[in-house]
Amino acid sequence: MLVEKDIVILGGGIAGLWLLNRLRAAGFAAVLLEKSALGNGQTIASQGMIHGGLKYALSGALTGASEAIADMPAHWQRCLQGEGDVDLRGTRLLSDTYYMWPRSSVRSRLTAFLGSKLVSSKTTEVSAEAVPEFFKGHLKGPLYRLHDIVLDVPSLLHTLGERCRAHIYRSACRIDHDANGNIRTLTLDNGCQLQAKLYLCTAGAGNEDWLSALQPPAVAMQKRPLQMVVVKHHIAHPLYVHCLADQFSSTPELTITTHPCQDGAFAWYLGGELAEAGASVDGSAQIARTRLKLAELFPWCDLSDARFHSFYIDRAEARQKDGKRPDRDSLLHSGNVLYCWPTKLTLAPSLANAVVERVATLGITADSSNDAPLTALPYPGVAVPVWDTL
């Protein structure tokens, strides 16, 4: 049986789910296909930070990344209140505040930087009375409050999925394509053949499979590896902070978010320079390095009973000439396929805007007559974060 749709989205991470919500709200007969679980891979491995790019301006000047991302926290806040382009009401907000903690000799330069017109509207120095419980009695030097937020990623995926549940399916796809990299049809697990006016590849690292199969000209992807660390403990006071090293860098020395676990424990989730440098070492070396760094940063904190775990994850992005992180989201077009990478969780709305504009440019219009549901295919469910597997 051949089923026709306006648009088929391939990949159920943040990019695919946000796009599905946008396109269906605009009246398109759009469906999403995910071969495992929603968010599996790069999205569920995200720290859940929705930030305004200040951490990309740590060298003392605005970059393309910091400018592209500047308005994203306000955009997400509107969505969380049900007033944005996608309704995120019901998504769990872990923190409405993020902190930046400069240490030792970096203080004077950072203070001057944060006090400049460049970032004065994005940061405030925390008064002694407002210092978070974790730092009280231990903080030396200033602490800055950023206008950034942290979301519970499984909750975000659940919210986006439930909004369009009837149009999300778990299935592998067998591809029939032409010599120019156009998709003719997709054959699904139920035997159905699916055909669309446009296909959106939003599978993160999984886009590599589509690129390999379709071999589009002038479309390429890069992967930049990380080794993330989870510290599972029972410390009650949550921690959401960028810890800055003495030297200026475009990446904080350590970025920490706190996540509640299903078993009642808490998990610190560690990224930043620690995760980037850890990509080249084995797990035991990464954990040893993490223990030393946490003891240096927080000597008052007893982690003797904490459980440490590390894992590798790739950041998948459109290929850059220098191999570095793209400044913003990426959208590459070949035939009847758009290859999409949001680059950061924060930039999913920006990517969706670019896709919606491209759909209009291509002259693709909504056709509700193509909106019959697919049958005998299950809903994928939401991926489980690593701390709930330990």
C-alpha distances out from residue 73 to 23, 81, 197, Å: 22, 12, 33
What number is the average pLDDT over the span 303-323?
96
Tens digit of pLDDT for each residue in 134-165?
999 998 888 889 889 999 999 999 999 999 99
Residue 366's Cβ-side half-sphere holds a number of Cα atoms within 13 Å equal to 13
pTM for this model (two decimals):
0.94
| pLDDT value at 196 more than 50 | yes
Domains with residue ranges and CATH for the chain? 2-43+156-222+320-388 (3.50.50.60), 92-151+223-316 (3.30.9.10)
Q: Is 255 in a helix, a strand, or coil?
A: strand
Cβ partners under 8 Å of residue 363, min gap 6: none
- pLDDT given for residue 244 in this prediction: 85
Confidence of residue 316 (pLDDT cuts 50, 70, 90): very high
Lookup: tokens for 179: 């010599």
Among 4, 130, 42, residue whose Cα is nearest residue 343: 42
What number is the average pLDDT over the span 264-291?
97
Among 190, 189, 231, 242, residue whose Cα is nearest residue 56: 242
Give the type of residue at 162. Answer: E
What number is the average pLDDT over the span 284-305?
97
Among 153, 122, 114, 152, residue whose Cα is nearest residue 244: 114
- pLDDT given for residue 108 in this prediction: 41
Tens digit of pLDDT for each residue in 22-52?
999 999 999 999 999 999 999 999 999 998 7
Q: Are the CB atoms for 114 and 259 separated by under 8 Å?
A: no
Q: Name the helix (H) or strand (E) containing 259.
A: strand 254-260
Question: What is the distance between the alpha carbons of residues 169 and 309, in angstroms, rounded to a whole number?
Answer: 32
